[in-house]
Amino acid sequence: MKRYERVAQTLAQRIEQGLYRTGDRLPSIRALCHEQGVSVSTAQAAYRRLEETGQAEARPRSGYYALTRTTPGVLPRVTRPAQRPLDVSQWDQVLELVRGAPAEDRMLMLGRGIPDLEAATLRPLQRLLATLYRGVDARGLNYDNLAGSRELQRQIARLMAASSCLLHPDDILITTGCQEALSLSLRTLTSPGDVVAVDSPSFYGTMQILKAQGLKALEIPTDPRTGISLEALELALEQWPIRAIQLTPTCNNPLGYTMPESRKRDLVALAQRFDVAIIEDDIYGDLAFTSPRPRTIKSFDGDGRVLLCSAFSKTLVPGLRVGWVAPGRYRDQVLHMKYVSTGASATLPQRAVAEFVAQGYYERHLREMIRQYRCHRDVMIAWVERHFPPGTGISDPQGGFLLWLELPGAVDCVRLNERLAVEHLHIAPGSLFSASGKYRHCLRLNYASPLTARVEAGVRRVGEMVSELLS
């Protein structure tokens, strides 16, 4: 055993014995050298080793912090939404959340669905964009192919093979973010008045599409570990004329679960039996903490009824608006919808993302982000366990960077948010994620970016305020 390995082992044992809990500061490099009688480079190597094993986390300009796999003591309960089609409301609250570019300097936005945009592994993307624009020719300024840049279609097909999805580049249409992919899919499949079954809680952006299109949401009970209840969905399919099933089965937003593969397969069978289409939102799928990443529902799709929607907004950056849809048998109709909605997508961002993937930067970036988000999940769960009232239900994310809390009592998180605003804090209230404003006692937190002392103080303060409101 090398010297640095021995030092790492000593520290690991202390963490396992509970001498250091998740989020506790470990000895500084200097202190470790002194204590263990080793050189600076050995101490550094020991910490790098602990980072690799997921037992320590480096925080820039602060030092190393202990990390243990914290599983939540209490999970959120299986949801029990109203079992009938409802009109979607909540636009005012969604607008509140999405209206402005987040001004992190003034507000601590603990609730938005934004990845870490300061990651060093994103730099090559920036460089590619700058280089492409500097050397752009008339073609790069012109309308692109309507279906998308050939090279990007090809790279996405290659990436999706990792989820056991065998797509031809022509099966993929590039869109303006995942939002457009979802919107085109729903508009292709439905007419005003139709009913769409959704997991619940569900991403508010999709719910607002239902509202805009005059569709009704049928929210299906959802288990925070395994996702949408197939039993409840089957009953609903028997009872209501459902036109489409929309869900986020992998690294769910907001609940963080990944539906087990057997249930994904069963869902496809169910959809076949009732001859209904499935809109699968996979936007967080590449951020799963397991390798290889989980299979998509689409990968079980034998007859083209699954419309797979995704984007690089969570895995890379949202501001380029590069998304895509694999619409199966609905390709021609979705392409028409795309043409009338926005025409061809912006040209060079597609090329830049394609290059970023082709040159291996994407996989490197994912690896780094998955490591970071996995650490952060454990730290954030530990903080919530520490700072929130006992009995708080905490999700156990299998990927992505979002945590869902169910408060142990009738705290109204919209009101909570108003009180937090005074202190420049912000969470995403759970009611956004329901057609009719359920889950008011739930909230969503984001743990993507470095978990600084300021973030911990914020989480602590939210927890305190929840306790005050409960008492």
Instruction: By CB under 6 A, name the binding residues for ligand PLP.
Output: 113, 177-179, 203, 205, 248, 253, 281, 283, 311, 313, 318, 323, 343
Instruction: Determine phi and psi for 458, rounding to 5 degrees.
Output: -65, -50
Which of 31, 117, 166, 457 binds its own copies (CB under 8 A)? It is 117
Least Å from the CB of residue 315 to ligand PLP: 10
Least Å from the CB of residue 314 to ligand PLP: 7
Q: Closer to ligand PLP by CB, 42 or 190: give it.
A: 190
Residues 115, 317: contact at Cβ < 8 Å?
yes
Which of 294, 349, 393, 450 binds its own copies (CB under 8 A)? It is 349
Tell whether residue 454 is a contact of its own copies (CB under 8 A).
no
Q: Closer to its own copies by CB, 44 or 93: give it.
A: 93
Tell me which of its own copies, ligand PLP, none is bound by residue 172, counting a contact when its beta carbon lies within the kind-specific cut-off of 5 to 8 angstroms.
Answer: none
Which sign does the torsion angle of CA 304, 306, 309, 310 carry?
negative
C-alpha distances out from residue 24 to 65, 136, 371, Å: 5, 50, 19
Q: Who contacts 460 (Cβ-Cβ below 8 Å, separation ≥6)?
A: 383, 386, 387
Q: Please choose, out of 204-212, 302-310, 374-382, 423-431, the segment that lies near its own copies by the rule CB under 8 A.
A: 204-212
Residues 230, 222: contact at Cβ < 8 Å?
no
What is the footprint of its own copies within residues 93-112 (CB under 8 A)?
Answer: 94-95, 98-102, 104
Which of 12, 29, 212, 469 binds its own copies (CB under 8 A)? It is 212
Tell whether residue 146 is a contact of its own copies (CB under 8 A).
yes
Residues 404, 254: contact at Cβ < 8 Å?
yes
Least Å from the CB of residue 67 to ligand PLP: 26
Residues 116, 104: contact at Cβ < 8 Å?
no
Structure tokens that stand for 14 in this block: 């202390």
Q: Closer to its own copies by CB, 162 or 344: give it.
A: 344
Residues 277, 307: contact at Cβ < 8 Å?
yes
Spatial CA neighbour of 370 closest among 308, 296, 291: 291
Q: Half-sphere exposure of residue 206, counting CA atoms within 13 Å on the CB side?
A: 32
Tell me which of ligand PLP, its own copies, none is bound by residue 253, counting a contact when its beta carbon lies within the kind-specific cut-off of 5 to 8 angstroms.
Answer: ligand PLP
Tell whether residue 211 is a contact of its own copies (CB under 8 A).
yes
Tell whether residue 129 is a contact of its own copies (CB under 8 A).
yes
Q: Closer to its own copies by CB, 74 or 95: give it.
A: 95
Q: Which run of H or E residues covers position 415?
A: helix 413-422
Structure tokens that stand for 122 in this block: 């994103």
CA distance 13 to 214: 58
Spatial CA neighbour of 321 closest among 298, 291, 342, 293: 342
CA distance 91 to 169: 36
Which of 176, 200, 315, 434 binds its own copies (CB under 8 A)? It is 176
Q: Closer to its own copies by CB, 176 or 372: give it.
A: 176
Helix axes 3-16, 29-36, angle to 10 degrees: 110
Least Å from the CB of residue 143 to ligand PLP: 7
Which of 81, 201, 205, 249 binds its own copies (CB under 8 A)? It is 205
Q: Closer to its own copies by CB, 208 or 417: give it.
A: 208
Q: Closer to ligand PLP by CB, 205 or 221: give it.
A: 205
Q: Closer to ligand PLP by CB, 176 or 392: give it.
A: 176
What is the footprint of its own copies within residues 296-335 (CB under 8 A)?
Answer: 317-321, 335
Torsion of CA 80, 83, 85, 89, to 10 degrees: -30
The angle at the Cα of 426, spanning 125 to 206, to the nearest 5 degrees, equals: 65
Radius of gyration of the chain (CA): 23
Tell me which of ligand PLP, its own copies, none is bound by residue 94, counting a contact when its beta carbon lies within the kind-specific cut-off of 5 to 8 angstroms.
Answer: its own copies
CA distance 451 to 372: 10
Q: Closer to ligand PLP by CB, 121 or 202: give it.
A: 202
Tell me which of ligand PLP, its own copies, none is bound by residue 248, counting a contact when its beta carbon lies within the kind-specific cut-off of 5 to 8 angstroms.
Answer: ligand PLP
Structure tokens that stand for 302 in this block: 């034998």
Residues 446, 111: contact at Cβ < 8 Å?
yes
Q: Please choose, out of 60-68, 69-77, 136-144, 275-283, the segment that lies near its own copies by the rule CB under 8 A.
A: 136-144
> How do strand 63-66 and strand 56-59 relate by DSSP bridges?
antiparallel
Tell whether residue 458 is a contact of its own copies (CB under 8 A).
no
- Which residues in this chain contact its own copies in the complex, by CB under 8 A? 91, 94-95, 98-102, 104, 114, 117-118, 122, 126-127, 129-131, 133-134, 136, 138-147, 176-177, 179-180, 183, 187, 191-192, 205, 208-209, 211-214, 317-321, 335-337, 339-349
